A and B are shown apart, each in its own frame.
Chain A
Amino acid sequence: MTNQAAFSDKQVDTMVEKVKQFQPLSEELNAIPYQDRLALARAVETKIAQERAPGDSLPALVVSTGTDSRGHEHLTNAQYTTPKGTADLYDLPGTIEKQPLKQEFKLDLDGAHSKHIKTGGKEILYPKAQN
């Protein structure tokens, strides 16, 4: 489940500014578990939408999602749209996007990466106890 307290208003504001400056969001977003990641991306999307008046030329952020093989929803893209065009500001961690797999299996990999955020997404077996 999404933990609404997993990110701060300051984080949201920082991300909004990055969007407005065409900066990629992947590094920050992929450093947090996929559930929190999606919640943060949606908060940024909402904030930008709130700042946008009808006919406003401010960019819009459109968050896309997909589901893994167990039905869990993951962030798959964050597309930034201006009158001049669009840009993708988010990629799944590592090389997941490039894997020749069904989308649901790619998102299974994303889920596993999220379980091991503190070790850079790697599940590591040491040959002996690490003291």
Chain B
Amino acid sequence: MTLESHEKPEVLMKRDSSLLVGLNDQDTKSFFDNQRKVDSSLTVSADNQTLVFDTKSLYGDSANHLALSSGKGPGDRGTATTPFIASAADFDRLNVNKSMDPKNDVVTRSELTQGILHELIQCNTNGNDRVDRDEWLKISGKFGYDDKTANHLYDLGTRLDKKGYSLSEIADRLITKDYMAADLNNTGSLDRNEFSSLLPKDNPQQPPNKGTDQPIYVPNDNTNPQPTPSDTRVTDGSDIYNQLRIDSGVSQADITQVKSALKNVPEPVRQALRDLKPEIIITPNVPVKGAAAYWDAANNQIVIGAGSGMVQEASSHEFWHVADTRYGITDEPGFKQAAALDLQNGALNKIGGLKSILVDDPIVNGTPVGDVFAEVGVSIDRYYGGNNDQTGIAAAMSRGFSNTENWLRQWTQAHMA
């Protein structure tokens, strides 16, 4: 499991502080202005009593299909009468992406959020695809909140929702962050020891910094299970290790980085690697001079240069290109339209000197945007397995090409099934 943080700390700090001062700084405005279309369908009722979400938007076209299954996700608890984190077994329930070595397992921030999201969706017991305030209040005790705190959080949630945050992002910022207070070594994940600090001592489990003397409300109904992204088959990519070819002279650290990249990319990217079965070569001697990595489709090889200091990012970058090869993502009109809009909005000025690294097709309005696609892909890895952006290029590219990022996030979510 990765020890990377779910999001860059500075980003989290900025958003959290924005929340405190009224969500009005420029970066936050920019973020809100570029909200995803998928999030636009999540709305707040006129009386601020309901967060409305559309499962199809959240989970793509597969939502209805998945709703018919009883897949086990991180929020599948077997019983609805226990706190969100009640026992050590919950570590393994939430830890969807298992490590090869169990002692290295951690629960990432993303996994924690997915578990919480599952609870929120399940609380929609009347089937209206809305998290009503009363539904939230019925389950908020599972997270250790008293009614006053729960109402306050709901109010904050409606504000965030109006600004374009998804339900997952709201859960992350308002609930997950409390649990992440147990992340004492600031890795962005909870190891078993840190996780154990969240377990209830005698009584109701409480998030570390949201103490309450109120008893936990125990919902007595769980009649409307909803799908979560983790209802789909999410793996850590270890089954792809047999496609690795490791040349002599490659450090263990670089091998680990490639494996981390495999784990962090979204499942559709891993599936593309399974379908096309490229040989993934890690070598100190890259045949293409000056390259950190390359994807040679004609020979079905990804070649990754060892010792570049950006092995993880370069790996993810090439994995995304393989996904493009498999699915034709950059050929889709939506991708080209989003990239064209970003270019109209001055993306090249926003990314400054990085524009000189843009060399790969397809060409949109005279600009090769193939590398935009791959770096934006690296950037959105953080919403899935963890952060692969070692240089900051991916984040910068995503800021410059925000519509492209939004489009690719939607594409990825829609293909998680």
Taking a contact as CB atoms closer than 8 A, the residue among B298, B308, B325, B357 that contacts A130 in the complex is: B357
Segment at the A interface, from B102-110, B289-297, B405-413:
B289-297
A92–B288 CA distance with the chains assembled, in angstroms:
22
Identify the closest chain B residue to A130 (Cβ).
B356
Q: Which of A94, A111, A116 has the most CB of B within 10 A?
A: A116
B324 interface residue (CB < 8 Å to A): yes
Segment at the A interface, from B113-121, B145-153, B157-165, B310-318:
B310-318
CB distance from B18 to the nearest CB of A (A): 31
Q: Which of B290, B293, B359, B362 has the most CB of A within 10 A?
A: B359
B350 interface residue (CB < 8 Å to A): no
Taking a contact as CB atoms closer than 8 A, the residue among A108, A119, A125, A130 that contacts B317 in the complex is: A125
Q: Which of B297, B310, B370 has the most CB of A within 10 A?
A: B297
14 A-B pairs, CB-CB below 8 angstroms? A94-B296, A99-B300, A112-B321, A115-B360, A115-B362, A121-B298, A122-B294, A123-B321, A123-B370, A124-B359, A127-B291, A127-B314, A130-B356, A131-B356
A122 in contact with B296 (CB, 8 Å): yes
Number of A-B residue pairs, CB cutoff 8 Å, is 110
A116 — which chain B residues lie within 8 A by C-beta?
297, 360-361
Top 8 A-B pairs, shortest CB-CB distance: A94-B298, A112-B297, A112-B325, A93-B298, A129-B356, A127-B292, A113-B298, A123-B295
Q: Among residues 90 to 114 in chain A, which have CB atoms less than 8 Å away from a CB atom of chain B?
A: 92-96, 99-101, 105, 108-113
A126 — which chain B residues lie within 8 A by C-beta?
290-292, 357
A70 interface residue (CB < 8 Å to B): yes
Fill in one digit per residue for B136-152: 1 if any A CB lies within 8 Å of its CB, else 0.
00000000000000000
Taking a contact as CB atoms closer than 8 A, the residue among A93, A112, A113, A125 that contacts B371 in the complex is: A125
A69 in contact with B326 (CB, 8 Å): yes
Could you say which interface size class chain B belongs to? 35 or more
B360 in contact with A130 (CB, 8 Å): no
B353 interface residue (CB < 8 Å to A): yes
A108-B325, A112-B325, A125-B371 known; A95 and B290 CB under 8 Å? no
A95 in contact with B299 (CB, 8 Å): yes
B370 — which chain A residues lie within 8 A by C-beta?
115, 123
A94 — which chain B residues lie within 8 A by C-beta?
296-300
A109 in contact with B277 (CB, 8 Å): no
B275 in contact with A121 (CB, 8 Å): no
B317 — which chain A residues lie within 8 A by C-beta?
125
Q: Among residues 350 to 409 in chain B, which have CB atoms less than 8 Å away from a CB atom of chain A?
A: 353-354, 356-357, 359-362, 370-371, 374
A130 in contact with B318 (CB, 8 Å): no
